[in-house]
């Protein structure tokens, strides 16, 4: 099983922590870089090869991670000479990937079973499998439905329910083969194009622990949670 970890972003939402560090190297719980947690989890779930897509401050990631042997996993690298968004870096290395693989953001903290997601993707035959998380958003205002100048509906402080992408995907070479390499191409563009073509992605719902630590408030929450959840987030550690 092979995974591609996206670690080329500048982490602008996480400043000042990312002023001198790539966001995948910010420590969780004051001790462990988030990319180390991700790699150790992948190794625990049976992945033996990982390609890390690097860009901004990429040499620092290479210095910390090396070849991955300290975690029992084989790591190689792909460098973005310019920003290629989410899926562009994967298309760039498609000839180095197996028929089915995972793609994940390098700045997430979760106890998702990566092997189960990979297996579900392969078994389903879907063009894309998206790990999804249930989020509720409380709106602190009365929400009006307006048609022109007429109010035709009203909800007082509604609670909205969403299935959101966790930043972890099961993908296949065949799904990406038609897209040109070397051009920026986002996850949103891929999903919309697949829907337009009648190729429906599959949802892999997850109800465990998940945070996207690209946002400052979520990074602070991750640090607060890590001591309590360390055994879940670092199995065998």
The structural domains of the chain, ordered by start, are: 2-132+164-233 (3.90.550.10)
| Closest by Cα among 28, 22, 12, 91 to 62 | 22
Between helices 58-65 and 34-44, what is the axis angle to 10°?
A: 50
Lowest mean pLDDT among 38-42, 139-143, 195-199, 216-220: 216-220
pLDDT given for residue 47 in this prediction: 96
Residue by residue, DSSP assigns 150-205 as EEEEEEES-EEEEEEEEEEEEEEHHHHTTSPTTS---HHHHHHHHHHTT---EEEE
**pLDDT number for residue 26:** 84
| Sign of the Cα pseudo-torsion (134, 136, 137, 141, in order) | positive
Asked if residue 127 has pLDDT above 80, the reply is: yes
- pLDDT computed for residue 17 by the predictor: 53
Cβ-contact 128, 194 below 8 angstroms? yes
pLDDT of residue 95: 94
125: left (phi over 0), alpha (psi -120 to 50) or beta: left
Q: What residues does 206 pair with on adjacent strands?
A: 133
Residue 20 binned pLDDT confidence (cut-offs 50, 70, 90)? low
CB 213 within 8 A of CB 123: no
Binned at pLDDT 50, 70 and 90, residue 204 comes out as very high
pLDDT at 12: 56
- pLDDT category of residue 3 using cuts at 50, 70 and 90: very high
pLDDT at 153: 94
pLDDT surpassing 60 at residue 53: yes
Higher per-residue confidence, 9 vs 108: 108
Give the pLDDT band of residue 18 (cuts 50, 70, 90).
low
Strand residue runs (E) in the chain = 2-7, 27-28, 32-33, 49-54, 74-79, 100-105, 108-110, 128-138, 142-147, 150-156, 159-172, 202-206, 210-212
Look at residue 183 in the predicted model and tell me its pLDDT. Answer: 92
Cα(26)–Cα(155) distance, integer angstroms: 41
Give me the mean pLDDT over the 62-66 stretch: 93
What pLDDT does 57 receive? 80
- Render pLDDT for 73-122 as a digit per residue (tens, 0 to 9): 999 999 988 889 999 999 999 999 999 999 999 989 999 999 999 999 99
The mean of the pLDDT values for the chain is: 90
% of the chain residues with pLDDT over 90:
71
Q: Which pLDDT score, from 0 to 100, does residue 219 have? A: 85
């Amino acid at each position: 099983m092979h995974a591609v970890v996206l670690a080329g972003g500048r982490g602008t939402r996480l400043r000042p922590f990312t002023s001198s560090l790539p966001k995948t190297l910010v420590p969780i719980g004051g001790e462990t870089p988030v990319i180390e947690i991700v790699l150790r989890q992948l190794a625990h779930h049976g992945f033996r090869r990982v390609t890390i897509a690097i860009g901004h401050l990429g040499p620092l990631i290479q210095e910390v991670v090396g070849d991955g042997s300290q975690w029992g996993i084989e790591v190689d690298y792909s460098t973005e000479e310019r920003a290629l968004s989410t899926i562009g870096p994967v298309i760039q290395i498609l000839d180095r990937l197996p028929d089915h693989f995972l793609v994940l953001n390098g700045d997430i903290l979760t106890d998702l079973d990566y092997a189960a997601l990979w297996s579900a993707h392969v078994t389903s035959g879907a063009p894309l499998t998206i790990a999804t998380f249930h989020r509720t958003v409380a709106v602190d205002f009365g929400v009006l439905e307006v048609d022109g100048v007429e109010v035709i509906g009203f909800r007082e402080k509604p609670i909205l329910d969403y299935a959101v992408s966790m930043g972890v995907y099961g993908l296949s070479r065949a799904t990406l083969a038609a897209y040109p390499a070397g051009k920026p191409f986002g996850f949103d563009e891929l999903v919309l194009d697949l829907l337009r073509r009648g190729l429906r992605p599959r949802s892999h719902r997850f109800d465990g622990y998940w945070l996207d630590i690209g946002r400052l408030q979520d990074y602070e929450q991750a640090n607060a949670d890590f001591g309590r959840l360390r055994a879940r987030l670092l199995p065998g550690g």
